[in-house]
Amino acid sequence: MQCEICGSDIKGNPIRVTVEGTVLDVCGKCARYGKPSDKWTPVSRKVSPIEKLLVTRKPRRDAFDKLEGEIVPDYAQIIKKARESKGLTIEELASKMMEKSALLRKIEREELVPEDTVRRKLETELNIKLTEKVSSQDQRGGGFIRGTTLGDVAIIRKKMK
Ligand SMILES: [Zn+2]
């Protein structure tokens, strides 16, 4: 393989460059006379993966702005008690709320923290309150948040204020 500019033997792989629109395989010394050919330089065109890592998950502001406080830790018992005191089955309550009974069942088993809209429906249907206002910063260390995303985000939001 010879350099297409100076004609000297190329040891190893030639460097493909573009000189005035012509693609040439040249030696290392002559590579500076041309621009690197597109076909041989895909690496420089890659989007850095770091950029993707910098994209942070944005909290669902629309939902949390409506959140008056944090959901009480014993929401499941409160819902269950209120529902039973009204003589409603989960199915009956679910149909009143236009929600799936499976969803309510999960909430009562504490497998699921009701989202804002569901919580509001529960509060209305059962005439209960499922949130508590955390007025002072000291209450944050109470440990009543049991690893819920909702609670975590609420804490982050408070810190940002
Ligand atoms: Zn050369």
Q: What is the pLDDT of residues 61-113, one digit of tens each?
A: 444 444 457 889 999 999 999 999 999 999 999 999 999 999 999 999 999 99
42 CA to centre of ligand 1 in angstroms? 23
Q: Classify 28 as helix, strand or coil.
A: coil
Q: Ligand 1 centroid vs 8 CA: distance in angstroms? A: 6
Q: Can you identify the CATH homologous superfamily of domain 61-160?
A: lambda repressor-like DNA-binding domains (1.10.260.40)
Name the residue ranges covered by the structural domains of the chain.
Answer: 1-55, 61-160
The alpha carbon of 21 and the centre of ligand 1 are apart by a number of angstroms equal to 18
Q: How far is the CA of 132 from the centre of ligand 1 (A)?
A: 77
Q: What is the DSSP string of 98-149?
A: TS-HHHHHHHHTTSSPPPHHHHHHHHHHHT---EE---SGGGGGG----S-H
| CA 156 to ligand 1 center in whole angstroms | 61
- CA–CA dist 149, 6 (Å, integer): 66
Q: 34: CA distance to ligand 1 center in Å?
A: 11
The yes-or-no verdict on residue 32 having pLDDT over 80 is yes
In this prediction the pTM is 0.43
Examine the pLDDT at 41 and tell me if it is beyond 50.
no
What are the tens digits of pLDDT across the range 111-152? 999 999 999 999 999 999 998 876 544 444 444 444 455 556
- pLDDT for the residue 43: 47
Question: What is the Å distance from ligand 1's center to 18 Cα?
Answer: 13
